[in-house]
């Protein structure tokens, strides 16, 4: 396969990671920053950068592609933080964002693993994380937001309730139903 064919194949595969990247971007954006920056815009920019750099990509597996895309996403998030805070560029902040994206990816993988062992194969874990990200985007907006705020931003049920105009018990029930829905989707796999 020549370089042009390989680049074309890579570009076809990039779209498969859109939901995964969207969930990771949503997890990383401070809820207050989400008012000014849409995670979908960050994902679009990430995929555009990946498309532009397709000739430089040397990986072979989905796990390597996901890692490469997470790195590009982390860079895009760092640029958004910088642009929105108007602070001087700080390399440690960019590294911190990249580490945070990696940690979110791991939390995403672990969300369904509470009841069972994780697969040892990195590619299988990566594929499951991508599938989970797609499933999370299918949840009703309020459930998805509550799960993101609680598990990735460590908000209390009371804080989420205040933001959504719901009681603490209503938020707990919403999170419980959302997690049950996600676990049910993956129980057969």
Please, where are the H alpha helices in the chain?
Answer: 3-14, 18-28, 39-52, 62-85, 91-110, 122-138, 141-151, 157-164, 168-187
Closest CA to 108 of 81, 79, 137, 80: 137
Predicted TM-score (pTM) of the model is: 0.58
Confidence of residue 143 (pLDDT cuts 50, 70, 90): very high
- Distance separating alpha carbons of residues 129 and 127, to the nearest angstrom: 5
Q: Where are the domains of the chain?
A: 3-138, 140-189
Q: Which CATH architecture has domain 140-189?
A: Orthogonal Bundle (1.10)
pLDDT of residue 105: 63
Which of 50-64, 80-94, 107-121, 124-138 has the highest average model confidence (pLDDT)? 50-64
Q: Please say if the pLDDT value at position 36 is more than 60.
A: yes
- Distance separating alpha carbons of residues 26 and 20, to the nearest angstrom: 10
């Amino acid at each position: 396969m020549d370089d042009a064919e390989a680049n074309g194949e890579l570009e076809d595969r990039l779209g498969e990671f859109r939901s995964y990247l969207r969930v990771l971007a949503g997890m990383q954006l401070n809820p207050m920053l989400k008012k000014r920056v849409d995670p979908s815009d960050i994902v679009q920019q990430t995929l555009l950068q990946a498309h532009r750099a397709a000739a430089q990509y040397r990986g072979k597996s989905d796990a390597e592609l996901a890692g490469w895309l997470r790195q590009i996403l982390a860079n895009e998030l760092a640029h958004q933080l910088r642009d929105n805070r108007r602070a001087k560029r700080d390399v440690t902040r960019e590294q911190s964002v990249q580490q945070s994206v990696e940690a979110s990816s791991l939390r995403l993988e672990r969300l369904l693993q509470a009841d069972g062992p994780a697969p040892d194969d990195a590619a299988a874990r990566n594929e499951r994380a991508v599938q989970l990200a797609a499933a999370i985007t299918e949840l009703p907006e309020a459930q998805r937001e509550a799960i993101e705020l609680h598990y990735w931003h460590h908000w209390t049920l009371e804080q989420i309730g205040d933001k959504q105009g719901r009681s603490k018990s209503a938020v707990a029930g919403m999170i419980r139903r959302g997690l049950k829905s996600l676990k049910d989707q993956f129980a057969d796999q």
